[in-house]
């Protein structure tokens, strides 16, 4: 027994010492890179203060959610959301970035019950209410008397918004809109918080007035009494049941049966319906979808966070886990020493950094352009729509696949929910379909590209009015440019040209414009995908120009080049055949000493990762065993099923032997 304990202690000491040694071998200052990711020293300091407020708060300590039923998880999420609201007010946290930070720690890898109230209901009120509506609805929403959600998707209609069937018919006699779900496929389906939590919803419906349909408009629809929470007359609402993930969220359905709402419940900052039923159209039809553009912009950053957490877990665990032998008779090496493991994880690590920087850029661009919109300048709204749609699809596809690679890179233990990787995956992968199905998003980006007549652009110059889509390598990223495969922009250009020619060839067959587009869809998606990859590389390169520290600049340059080459290698048929394999292997070897330090720079505390495999100290196995012992099935030595099973087994034996 003593010998076994000694061996256990020796293994633990060896593992922890090995992790510490890896960190000591880093070639850059981890803290400096963390400051770059946060946007400065003061922001890092403030983020850590907020994280500590949440992590040390006893109101947020609870039983492991993995051992609770769905109803228990929902109840716990509602209770915690209420605590969160009170705490934010108690601490005086009002800055949007700080609220986002607080909520990120509070949620961990799960979702809060009031999520859509914060990210869709309130932002829509802020941006689409006129002055009178703002005075009425914002205080109600900010005081949580009006708990809201955003009801767009229907049972039979998702990304194709023009196909939505819910109707809002104006009645000038009463100055009311009559809301209806005329068919089974028109029932609103999927909105988070709709099933049990919300008492109001912003409902997208087809506006009918004076005998004409004017397309989709947004309406504030009361669902439940603000006093009793009982559904109002004509409102049929409920929970849609268990999903692949999102166990804490009451995604719901909504059927409207002649529900009447006042005229001023239509959001009228841009589009309007006068008292007599006259329709006043907005300056841009895309303004109705402003909330979706906001969410898509956020999702790009979320892709970086989800992938960064997954890489942190997988790389730390790969530096703890020892497996097999490289040379017979020698000690088992860390699985991180295997080139195949590096090839799985290091490109994903590079991708996580790229997406974090792109997420920062998208946030800046969104704020700038929405500021312009508030001043009446709508000129860049189409570009923002195209940018957010394409990058949302591009980043979520890659991140979803990457999370699963990280899980499998952890071997069998990655399958356990104690690793946190299953939760990260099931809660992130829906981003590929919500707020726009990804293939459709890519086609929307392709549509904008074709409208801008890319085929006629010259890569030597940038369009004067185009900040979002960059066309030439930035001069301030010269160190990266020297190592960058310069054939890439030409290949993107050729893919766009190929898609355009495909459409022209189809049109020559005398098919309709719509059929020509559909018959060229594969080429269009390939072009959009290649262009998004190029944009991410360009933004990564631009970020390098802002970094003065030599060590940090060097390691980020290696990551940037690895990201670019990995994308080219995966799509060599698209980007032309480039000799990248040998260079990739060299980059893997260069990154090996810095792998753990690079994930350390993400600065995720153990309480935030909530992963046994991704522990900072590397003490995985003891804590994994402790986690398993907490399973409810282990509360009794003999489970309750044994009694009835024993009785049935006796009956079975009688049937067999008698």
Instruction: Output the six-digit token pair for 648.
Output: 């049935």
Contacts of 53 (CB under 8 A, 6+ apart): 87, 91, 102
Q: Is 14 annotated as a binding residue?
A: no
Phi, psi of 336 (to 5 degrees): -70, -15
Residues annotated as part of the active site: 435
Buried-exposed string 500-517: b where 16+ CB fall within 10 A, e elsewhere: bebbeebbeeeeeeeebb
Contact 352, 304 (CB under 8 A): yes
Sign of the torsion angle spanned by Cα atoms 264, 267, 272, 277: negative
Tell me how far apart the alpha carbons of residues 151 and 157 are, in angstroms, rounded to a whole number: 12
Tell me how far apart the alpha carbons of residues 499 and 524 are, in angstroms, rounded to a whole number: 5
Task: Of 400, 399, 390, 404, give the one whose Cα is nearest residue 438.
Answer: 390
Contact 303, 310 (CB under 8 A): no
Contact 215, 266 (CB under 8 A): no
Tokens 């590096």 belong to residue: 342
Continuous segment of H or E residues that includes residue 4: helix 2-24
Contacts of 85 (CB under 8 A, 6+ apart): 114, 144
Instruction: Output the six-digit token pair for 423.
Output: 């939760």
Contact 597, 28 (CB under 8 A): yes
Contacts of 519 (CB under 8 A, 6+ apart): 502, 506, 511
Contact 509, 323 (CB under 8 A): no
Bridge-based pairing of strands 167-171 and 252-256 is unpaired
Contact 315, 345 (CB under 8 A): yes
Contact 300, 392 (CB under 8 A): yes
End-to-end CA distance of the chain: 50
Instruction: Output the six-digit token pair for 391.
Output: 């990058």
Q: Is 13 annotated as a binding residue?
A: no
| DSSP 3-state of 349 | helix
User: Can you count the helices (H) and strands (E) in the chain?
Assistant: 24, 11
Phi, psi of 110 (to 5 degrees): -110, -175
Contacts of 627 (CB under 8 A, 6+ apart): 64, 418, 612
Burial class (CB in 10 A: 0-12, 13-18, 19+), 331: exposed
Tell me how far apart the alpha carbons of residues 27 and 38 are, in angstroms, rounded to a whole number: 20
Compute the residue count for the chain: 658
Contacts of 502 (CB under 8 A, 6+ apart): 519, 520, 523
Contact 56, 607 (CB under 8 A): no
Contact 179, 188 (CB under 8 A): no
Positions at the binding site: 153, 192
Positions at the binding site for FAD: 153, 192
């Amino acid at each position: 027994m003593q010998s076994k304990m000694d061996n256990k202690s020796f293994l633990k000491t060896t593992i922890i010492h090995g992790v510490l040694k890896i960190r000591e071998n880093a070639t850059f200052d981890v803290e400096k890179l963390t400051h770059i990711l946060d946007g400065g020293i003061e922001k890092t300091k403030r983020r850590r203060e907020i994280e500590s407020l949440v992590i040390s708060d006893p109101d947020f300590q609870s039983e492991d959610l993995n051992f609770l039923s769905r109803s228990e998880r929902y109840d716990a999420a509602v209770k915690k959301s209420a605590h969160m609201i009170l705490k934010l007010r108690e601490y005086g946290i009002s800055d949007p970035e700080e609220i986002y930070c607080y909520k990120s720690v509070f949620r961990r890898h799960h979702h809060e019950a009031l999520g859509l109230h914060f990210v869709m209901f309130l932002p829509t009120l802020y941006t689409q209410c006129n002055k009178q509506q703002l005075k009425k609805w914002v205080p109600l929403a900010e005081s949580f008397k009006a708990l809201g959600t955003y009801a767009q998707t229907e049972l039979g209609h998702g990304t194709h918004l023009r196909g939505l069937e819910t109707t809002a018919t104006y009645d000038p006699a009463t100055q009311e809109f009559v809301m209806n779900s005329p068919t089974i496929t028109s029932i609103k389906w999927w909105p988070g918080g709709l099933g049990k939590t919300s008492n109001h919803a912003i409902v997208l419906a087809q506006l009918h007035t004076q005998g004409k349909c004017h397309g989709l408009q947004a309406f504030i629809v009361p669902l439940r009494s603000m006093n009793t929470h009982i559904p109002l007359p004509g409102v049929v609402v409920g929970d849609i049941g268990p999903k692949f993930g999102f166990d804490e969220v009451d995604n719901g359905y909504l059927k409207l049966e002649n529900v009447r709402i006042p005229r001023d419940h239509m959001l009228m900052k841009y589009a309007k319906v006068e008292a007599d039923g006259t329709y006043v159209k907005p300056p841009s039809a895309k303004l109705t979808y402003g909330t979706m553009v906001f969410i898509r912009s956020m999702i790009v950053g979320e892709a970086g966070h989800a992938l960064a957490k997954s890489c942190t877990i997988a790389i730390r665990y790969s530096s703890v886990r020892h497996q097999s032998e490289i040379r017979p008779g020698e000690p088992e090496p860390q699985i991180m020493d295997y080139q195949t493991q590096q090839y799985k994880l290091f490109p994903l690590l590079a991708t996580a950094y790229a997406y974090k920087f792109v997420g920062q850029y998208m946030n800046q661009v969104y704020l700038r352009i929405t500021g312009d919109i508030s001043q009446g300048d709508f000129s860049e709204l189409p570009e923002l729509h195209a940018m957010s749609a394409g990058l949302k699809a591009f980043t979520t596809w890659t991140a979803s696949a990457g999370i699963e690679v990280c899980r499998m890179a952890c071997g069998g233990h990655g399958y356990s929910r104690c690793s946190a990787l299953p939760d990260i995956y099931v809660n992130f992968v829906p981003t590929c379909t919500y707020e726009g199905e990804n293939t459709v998003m890519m086609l929307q980006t392709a549509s904008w590209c074709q409208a801008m007549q890319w085929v006629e652009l010259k890569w030597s110059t940038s369009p004067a009015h185009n900040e979002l889509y960059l066309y030439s390598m930035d001069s301030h990223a010269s160190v990266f440019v020297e190592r960058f495969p310069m054939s890439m922009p030409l290949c993107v250009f050729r893919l766009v040209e190929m898609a355009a020619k495909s459409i022209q060839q189809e049109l020559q067959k005398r098919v309709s414009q719509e059929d020509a587009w559909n018959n060229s869809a594969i080429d269009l998606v390939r072009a959009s995908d290649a262009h998004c990859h190029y944009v991410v590389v360009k933004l990564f390169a631009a970020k390098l120009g802002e970094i003065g520290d030599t060590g940090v600049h060097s390691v980020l340059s290696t990551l940037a080049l690895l990201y670019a080459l990995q994308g080219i290698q995966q799509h060599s048929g698209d980007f032309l055949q480039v000799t990248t394999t040998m260079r990739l292997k060299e980059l893997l070897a260069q990154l090996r000493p810095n792998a753990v330090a690079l994930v350390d720079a993400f600065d995720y505390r153990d309480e935030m990762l909530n992963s046994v495999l991704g522990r900072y100290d590397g003490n995985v196995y003891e804590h994994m065993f402790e986690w398993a012992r907490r399973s409810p099935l282990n509360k009794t030595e003999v489970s309750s099923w044994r009694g009835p099973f024993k009785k049935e087994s006796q009956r079975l034996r009688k049937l067999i032997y008698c």
